Homo-oligomer: A and B are copies of this chain.
Amino acid sequence: MDYQAILDEIYEEIQPELKRGKVADYIPALAEVAQEQFAMTVTLEDGTVYSVGDAKKKFSIQSISKVFTFTLALDIYSTELYKRVGVEPSGNPFNSLVQLEYENGIPRNPFINAGAIAITDSLVSHYKDHYKTLEVIMNFVRELSGNPSLSFDPEVANSEMEYGDRNLSLAHLMKSFGNFENDVTNTVMTYFKHCSITMNTEELSRAFLFLAFAGKDPISGREFITCPKTKRINAVMLTCGHYDASGEFAFHVGLPAKSGVGGGIAAVVPGKMSIAVWSPALNRYGNSHAGTLALEKFTTKTGVSIF
């Protein structure tokens, strides 16, 4: 299949859509990103890369980073992790406190904010301190992406913290239920830092390749996580990867994927490839408008789908 031709076609077709949606504006550092940008990269088992658009342009991966921290925590804690975080779709907005209160401080899944903060907290407990934890996360993403100089944007992280009351509220609520082990402010700051990692679609696509191949990077041959755990990460991406529009996404795109408010989406086609797409304007659910459409076009044109 001529993936480059398909990407080029999508790039053409998606142009009119770039004006639609709205760039995230809850923090100044994200609000100033220019709207009409688009990039898409496909990485195959043998490392072949197909790209269109601004595939070298860095963006804030935001919630996509939750897949990396979930992977690290699942590797460390295995089924023990589910005592602190569930794997059910929440049916509520990503930053809702309601369900967290009703369910005694146990977040529904690792991809809503409360769940991801609990995951970060579990990593801090394991690695003992915040600095070390962040270093482990950064090095993991660097190795996965093949770019040893990846970093996070401190301006974005600080901006998140400045407007971070909702997340601090979630963390204190979990702590009041006994589901939080470390200092709230520092842990939330560590969370904001890993959300502020900047990558381009080539790096991001590369970094997700192991999830398409049973946890083992098909190029380096290194196994990052076991096959059963990989399947579970993919299942959680499918059922919970797009906030309160996860069902819609599964329905229209049909691939395990994770989106971020920076406009990125990373997806996997098990056994075949990984895909990253980026366009900063979001739909009303907080997922990249053009990115979601581009992935839907890709699965329609190629016929790849897990269903």
Contact = CB atoms under 8 A, between A and B. Distances in A.
A97 B89 CA distance: 18
Given A169-B172, A306-B306, A87 B235 contact: no
A244 B86 CA distance: 12
Contacts of A270: 305-307
Contacts of A102: 98
Interface residues of A, number: 52
Interface in A244-271: 244-248, 250-251, 254, 256, 270
A88 interface: yes
A198 interface: no
This chain: copies in complex: 4
B98 A247 contact: no
B256 A86 contact: no
A240 B86 CA distance: 16
Contacts of A175: 165
Interface of A (DSSP majority class): helix
A307 B172 contact: no
Given A88-B91, A176-B169, A307-B270, A238 B256 contact: no
A230 interface: yes
A159 B235 CA distance: 37
Given A165-B176, A169-B173, 17 more contacts: A88-B91, A89-B91, A89-B246, A91-B99, A97-B101, A98-B98, A168-B168, A231-B305, A231-B307, A234-B307, A236-B250, A238-B238, A238-B250, A270-B305, A270-B306, A270-B307, A306-B307
Interface of A: 86-92, 96-99, 101-102, 108-109, 163, 165-166, 168-173, 175-176, 180, 184, 228, 230-232, 234-236, 238-240, 244-248, 250-251, 254, 256, 270, 300, 305-307
